Amino acid sequence: MPNFFTDNKDLIFQFERLDLKEVVQIAENNYEESKKYPYAPTNYEDAMENYRKVLEVVGDIAGNYIDARAGEVDTEGAHYKNGEVNYASGTVENLKQLSKADLMGMVLPRRFGGLNFPTSIYMMATEIIARADASLMNIFGLQDIGEMINKFGDESQREEFLPKFCTGEYTGAMALTEPDAGSDLQAVKLTAYQDEKGQWFLKGVKRFITNGNADVHLVLARSEPGTKDGRGLSMFVCYRDKSVVIRRIENKLGIHGSPTCELQFNDTPAWLVGKRKFGLIKYVFDLMFRARLGVSAQALGISQAAYEEALKYAKDRVQFGKSIYNIPAVTNILLDMRTTLETNRTLMYAAGTAVDIKEKLEELVEKNKAEGKNDTELNERLKSVTKFANFVTPLAKYILTESANKITYDALQIHGGTGYMKEFRVERLARDARITNIYEGTSQLQIVAAIGGVLGDILKDMFDKKEKKEYPGGLARLSEILKEIRVIFYDSLKYVVDKKDVSFQDIAAKDLVELYSYIYTGWLLLDEAEVNERKKFIANRYIIESLANARKNAENIKNELFSDILHADKILI
Q: If we measure between CA atoms, which residue out of 94, 104, 184 comes closest to residue 135?
A: 94
Please, which residues bridge with residue 82 across strands? none
Catalytic-residue membership of 362: no
- Rg for the chain (alpha carbons), in Å? 24
Rounded to whole angstroms, the Cα distance separating 180 from 196 reads 31
Q: How far apart are CA 466 and CA 517, in angstroms?
A: 15
Which CB contacts under 8 angstroms, 24+ apart, belong to 223-227? 223/191, 223/192, 223/193, 223/272, 223/276, 223/277, 223/279, 224/276, 224/277, 225/191
Measured CA to CA, the distance from residue 218 to residue 256 in angstroms comes to: 23
Q: How far apart are CA 71 and CA 77, in angstroms?
A: 10
CA–CA separation, 521 vs 550, rounded Å? 13
3-state helix, strand and coil shares in percent for the chain, rounded to the nearest 5 = 65, 10, 25
Distance from C-alpha of 50 to C-alpha of 157, rounded to nearest angstrom: 29
Of 440, 467, 480, 484, the active-site residue reads 440
What is the DSSP annotation of 529-556?
HHH-TTHHHHHHHHHHHHHHHHHHHHHH
| Cα torsion 351, 355, 360, 361: sign | positive
Contact (Cβ atoms closer than 8 angstroms) between residue 241 and residue 214:
no
The DSSP string of 337-357 is HHHHHHHHHHHHHHHHHHHHH
User: Residues 412-418: contacts with CB within 8 Å, 24+ apart?
Assistant: 413/333, 414/310, 414/313, 414/314, 414/324, 414/330, 414/333, 414/334, 415/309, 415/310, 415/313, 418/313
What span, in angstroms and rounded, lies between the C-alpha atoms of 205 and 184? Answer: 15
Crossing angle of helices 426-433 and 67-76, in 10° steps, is: 70
Please name which of 74, 80, 85, 218 lies closest in space to residue 136, comparing C-alpha atoms: 74
Q: Distance between alpha carbon 301 and the CA centroid of its chain, in Å?
A: 11
Name the residues annotated as catalytic.
Answer: 440
